[in-house]
Amino acid sequence: MNSILYYPGCGVADQARSMETAARGALGALGWEMEEMERWNCCGTVYSLATDDLMRHVGPARILARVQDAGHEHLLTLCSMCYSTLKRSERFLTEERDRLDRVNAFLDDEPDYTGGVRVVHLLELVRDEIGYEAVEEAVQRPLSGLKVSPYYGCTLTRPRAVGVDDPERPRVLEDLLLALGAEPVSSPQGVECCGAYLTASAPEVARRRAGAIARAAARGGADLMVTSCPLCQYNLDTRQGEAPGASAHAVPSLYFTQLLALALGADPAVDEQVIDPRPVLAARGLAVEVKA
Amino acid sequence: MAEQLRLAKAVLSVQFARRVEELSGQSPYRCYQCGKCGAGCPFADSMDLLPNQVLRLVQLGDEKVLEAGAPWSCASCLACEVRCPRGVDIAKVMEAVRLLALRKGRSPVALGKVPGERLPQIAVVGISRKMTP
């Protein structure tokens, strides 16, 4: 069994637990184990884009210092926002010695971070370490006939230097879906933002975005959408469901980890959702149960 | 001619443009106003100024940009950043404008009024970081 150190983050540890349960089961079927790091804290969720806001890098630096102190080189995330924030902070801090020195001095009670931790998204682990061939071989329940629209959102692929794939024409989700036997339906809205945290300050904006993304997926004939971020999932499920007249053409969404688990014969951990994915799954012969 | 030069001098606050440049690490003068950022911005429909217009005001050193709503409709999704033909990271300019407004005590949201219901923590931490001082 291979093992990788894992950082859950606030979303996955709470309302997006299903993303993690499914990932654990799926990785188990592929011979990998996620080892949760000790004493983790919030990454800050959003990366500071300012040059003088060093304080916003303290959260990521503390996490990276602990990973290094525990003797690890890699840190796995499931959430795209954690991935991007941690990876961008790592680059920002190690780019200029002075930044790192100042943050280390501030983090007096922690061992110094000296650089070099590689933040890895689960989609990268599957693509680059495990490989799609191994995934294909491990499939027990092919997702045949299931039409899935990949929704990448922002932080998984942008900015280019940090993203896991090309920001304008990514294919990592399409390739994964093909390995699982599903039919990917690429959407013109697949890389356009869902509204992200504006869902808190301007919910109507997130409703509009979720509606536009779902309509584009439906026009392509998708049964459901697949996400890699708990905030995308919230907007595509809850905010889409709240939009006026949504129910008639609502398109459910699931985490990529849930489809992976479903195909590999592990628990897809499908929760109660605003837009229930079970009918479309059942229609393709993939009935799942919701845990009580 | 001299008259025109004097007028221009009165409008421009080079200092303000420099401040944005310093905070964002982006030269606003690289922008040639092609409008590609706004054309692909998923939030342009809720903005009072398009992203290139925000940049234009910064180029002109016009501090009125601090009262614009557009930077608060930006979700830092970076669609503009990957598409800008001049390599301007517009999201960083938006962040600089937000920070300058926040540091003057202007905040568009009151966290206490954000409905808690079942909002994901990511969203709450996100707006507290982007929209409160």
What is the residue-wise DSSP string for A97-160?
HHHHHHHHHH-TTSPPP-S-PEEEEHHHIIIIII-HHHHHHH-SS--TT-EEEE--TTTTT-ST
Longest dimension (CA), chain A: 58
Beta bridge partners of A253: A225
Q: Count the residues in chain A.
A: 292
How far is C-alpha B29 from the chain's CA centre? 14
**With contacts defined as CB-CB under 8 Å, which chain B residues touch A200?**
109, 114, 119, 123-124, 126-127
Give ranges for CATH 3.40.50.11810 in chain A: 140-283
pLDDT of B107 = 86
CB A94 within 8 A of CB A138: no
pLDDT of B13 = 81
CATH number of A140-283: 3.40.50.11810
Helices and strands (H and E) in chain A: how many: 14, 8
Q: What is the pLDDT of residues A50-103, one digit of tens each?
A: 999 999 999 999 999 999 999 999 999 999 999 999 999 999 999 999 999 999
CB B60 within 8 A of CB B20: no
Q: What 8-state DSSP symbol labels residue B109?
A: -
User: What average pLDDT does the segment A125-151 reach?
Assistant: 98
ipTM: 0.94
What angle do the packed helices A80-95 and A97-106 form, to 10 degrees? Answer: 110
Mutate to test the interface with A, among B45, B81, B122 (most CBs of A within 10 A): B122
**With contacts defined as CB-CB under 8 Å, which chain B residues touch A45?**
121-122, 125-126, 129
CATH architecture designation of domain A2-122? Up-down Bundle (1.20)
Taking CB atoms and an 8 Å limit, are B114 and A81 in contact across chains?
no
User: What average pLDDT does the segment B85-106 reach?
Assistant: 96
Going B128 to B79 to B48 to B11, the CA torsion angle's sign is positive
User: What average pLDDT does the segment A27-41 reach?
Assistant: 97
Q: Using alpha carbons, list the distances in angstroms from residue A198 to A10, A70, A186, A195, B118.
A: 18, 36, 25, 5, 15
Buried b (16+ CB within 10 A) or exposed e, A96-131: eeebbeebbeeeeebebbeeebebbbbbbbbbeebe
Structure tokens at A245: 């007249």
Counting one residue from A and one from B, how many pairs have CB atoms under 8 Å apart? 136
Q: Is pLDDT above 90 for B10?
A: no
Q: Is pLDDT above 70 for B1?
A: no
The pairing of strands A32-36 and A118-121 is unpaired
CATH number of B2-108: 1.10.1060.10
